[in-house]
Amino acid sequence: MSEQSLERQRDHLQLQYNEIASLAGGLAHEIRNPLSTIRLNLDLLSEDLVQLAVDPTHRAHRKLERIRLECEHLEEILNSFLEFARAGELHLEEVDLAEFVRKFLEFFKAEAEQAKIELRPHLAGSLPKVRLDPRLFRHVLSNLFKNAMQAMPNGGLIELQLYRKGDTVSLEVVDTGTGIAPGAVEKIFQVFFSTKPGGSGLGLPTVRKIVEAHQGTITCESEVGRGTKFAIHLPVLT
């Protein structure tokens, strides 16, 4: 395929992404308004129960708290949906990926220490630059590290490998967590599929969409009881 054809294809995809993002924004607005009204009225009902001196252990309090939690869950799903819909809106910059990863690890270090997780980076030097949307790619790393932490509730190790492979710069995120069942590994990038109770099923599909919008690829290998490896391959800047 010629460079001109690729450019037309990218423009067409960008137009589709923009349309989806616009639709998602309108949908989010329409949902958030009644959701805010529901949460406001929940607060007012809670105040009414307090004024009526209703016992805090009464089931009415428990029901209101349950509804409040479900509203919060709905808002989390809504935010995840917006991230997924807008994942193709790129604002690209020339980035030294090794330096980008170092800064992310500095930010993540305190949270990792609190969770008794060791970070072990192996970042090759003198790598060619890549074109990234820093905000979106930070979302990719945050999601992968969040998943790794959830797979290691008692602590563990996250190892990072950054190196050049042909015309790509490759980043591997490897954890020593509980792993993913073989049947689930094949589905984790599918929209609305989740191995976690209450999960939106949009986290990893959003990660894949962001990576692919950067003309990259992402794969996953996992073994139950031994851990999981995500490998991202991004084209080098030419």
Residue-by-residue pLDDT tens, the chain, 238 positions? 555 665 676 666 666 656 666 666 667 777 878 888 888 888 898 888 888 888 888 888 888 888 888 888 777 777 767 776 666 677 889 999 999 999 999 989 999 999 999 999 999 988 999 999 898 899 899 999 999 999 999 999 999 999 999 999 999 999 999 999 888 888 888 877 777 765 667 788 889 988 988 889 999 999 999 999 999 999 998 7
Per-residue pLDDT, 116: 95
Strand ranges for the chain from DSSP E: 93-95, 117-123, 130-132, 156-165, 168-175, 217-223, 227-235
Cβ–Cβ under 8 Å, residues 19 and 76: no
Backbone angles phi, psi at 203, to 5 degrees: -60, -60
Q: Classify residue 64 by burial, with Cβ atoms within 10 Å: 0-12, 13-18, 19+.
A: middle
**Starting from the edge strand earliest in sequence, which strands make up the sheet with 156-165, in order?**
117-123, 156-165, 168-175, 227-235, 217-223
Q: Could you give the angle at which helices 3-51 and 59-85 cross, rounded to 10 degrees? A: 170
pLDDT at 233: 96
Task: Tell me the C-alpha distance between 178 and 225, whole Å.
Answer: 5
pLDDT value for 56:
81
Q: Kindly provide the b/e burial profile for residues 207-217, where b requires at least 16 CB atoms within 10 angstroms of the residue's own CB.
A: bbbbbebbebe
- 18 phi and psi angles, rounded to 5 deg: -65, -40
Predicted local confidence at residue 159, as pLDDT: 96
H/E element holding 23?
A: helix 3-51
pLDDT for 169 equals 94
d(CA 207, CA 220): 12
At residue 16, the pLDDT reads 61
